[in-house]
Structure 1
Amino acid sequence: MSQFWDDRYNRETYLFGEEPNAFLKAQAHRLKAGMRVLCIADGEGRNGVWLARQGLDVHATDSSAVAQDKARALAAKHGVALEIEQADLLEWPWPENAYDVIVGIFIQFFAPDERSRMFEGVKKALRPGGLFILEGYGPKQLEYRTGGPSQPENLYTEELLREAFSDFIIEELRSHDARIQEGEGHDGLSALVDLVARKP
């Protein structure tokens, strides 16, 4: 997996751009300086760097060393620091009650059983009252083909996420189409599913 992503990120430009994901940016009102946040599969750092610029204490993981070198460069460009860790999320020892916020933006490279394991890790790692902020692609994305996985089982639906986080407080959950421009990797009309869930 890491070789695949190393190859994709091995370019001068940022594959998904340097600006944060729009849905994450829209959650700024939920975030406070000093919060400890985990960005899973943060790639080249666009989301982690934006969070650090808001004054959050950011721990960013990814499987690609190439992407993380670019994340360090982006953080330096903006004068912020990230704690960056190369990690395979299926093998990573998720800490318990360690984060106020966990962010997952377009983390749809896991099969359903692996995704369930990752979600359990998220639940373990959040502190009580902590937030999980997630955006991904829904089934209609297979028609749009403007980014994301080609495997239907890796896509999200509201029903899937509502069931997966039935033990959390769902603060926001919606499916919608929107035009996004996130570098060359995500560009065009997209079928999106957004989730904000709070650990009781």
Structure 2
Amino acid sequence: MTDETTGPETAEEVWDTRYRESGRIWSGEPNAAFVEVVGELPAGRALDLGAGEGGDAVWLARRGWRVTAVDISTVALERAAGHAAEAGVAERIDFLHHDLAVSFPEGSWDLVSAQFLHSMVEMPREEILRRAACAVAPGGVLLVEGHMGFPSWQHDHPQDLHFPTPEEVVESLRLPEGAWEVLRSEEHVRVQKDPEGVPRERTDATVLVRRL
């Protein structure tokens, strides 16, 4: 979006605008695939990329994890911090503002999670996920969950946006041979309600890799 006085919106402005459209954009609950994978892991240090309103971060913190939650939108982060305070886990979550196309948090984590890290604006997703892999501590895991396409009820969307297969995600990570183990690389179908509240099926992809 452009005009003669302000010029093009930045990615941060686009996402801030998106979050201001409603008091809550997401359900506040982690998706089933995330719960299935992370529920089997011992609590440790977690990095939540694209944390949004903090649903995953709060869920992790309630289960004993120490979480670093990162998002490009300050609106989302303020909302997430409020949800963490309401849940009584604010002291277990550090909320950091990053445009992951530009900067990345320093440190290493037992779990690095990228849940539906798709963007309405151009974003170097493969490069970000490679940096995410580098942030995994020895013995830790990288969990990447992504859509395999737009929902059937959404017709107004970019036609050239590519949703990678699990195999493409693994390949794009460029993991050094012998240093990583691929635990999951699969598609799965889940049910999501459309804007009218009707349950619909859509296909997602899960990639889980462990650093040896």
Aligned to 1:197: 209
Aligned to 1:136: 146
Distance in 2 (alpha carbons) for counterparts of 1:118 and 1:154: 16
| Paired residue type of 2:84 | A
Aligned to 2:33: 23
What are the ranges of 5 or more consecutive residues in structure 1 without an aligned counterpart? none
> Relative to structure 2, which stretch is displaced further, 36-45 or 103-112?
103-112
1:83: how far off? 0.1
1:111: how far off? 5.1
| Paired residue type of 2:164 | Y
1:102-121 → structure 2 map (5 Å cutoff): 102-109=112-119, 114-121=124-131
* Structure-2 change in CA distance of 1:152 and 1:189 (3 Å): farther
Give the alignment's TM-score, normalised by structure 1. 0.85
Aligned residues: 192
| Paired residue type of 1:76 | A
1:95: how far off? 2.7
What percentage of residue pairs aligned between the two structures are identical?
Answer: 27
Note if contact 2:117-2:125 (Cα within 8 Å) is conserved in structure 1: no
Distance in 2 (alpha carbons) for counterparts of 1:11 and 1:180: 21
Q: Does residue 95 of structure 2 align to residue 87 of structure 1?
A: no
| Paired residue type of 1:125 | A
* Structure-2 change in CA distance of 1:181 and 1:50 (3 Å): farther
Give the alignment's TM-score, normalised by structure 2. 0.80
What are the ranges of 5 or more consecutive residues in structure 2 without an aligned counterpart? 1-10
Note if contact 1:43-1:71 (Cα within 8 Å) is conserved in structure 2: yes
1:136: how far off? 0.7
Distance in 2 (alpha carbons) for counterparts of 1:166 and 1:57: 28
Output the aligned Cα RMSD.
2.5
1:79-103 alpha-carbon deviations (Å, 9 max, x no partner): 002100110112214435x111001
Runs of 4+ aligned residues of structure 1 deviating over 3 Å after TM superposition are 149-154, 181-184
- Structure with the bigger RCO (C-alpha within 8 Å, sep 6+) is 1
Distance in 1 (alpha carbons) for counterparts of 2:154 and 2:146: 13
Q: Larger Cα Rg: Structure 1 or Structure 2?
A: 2
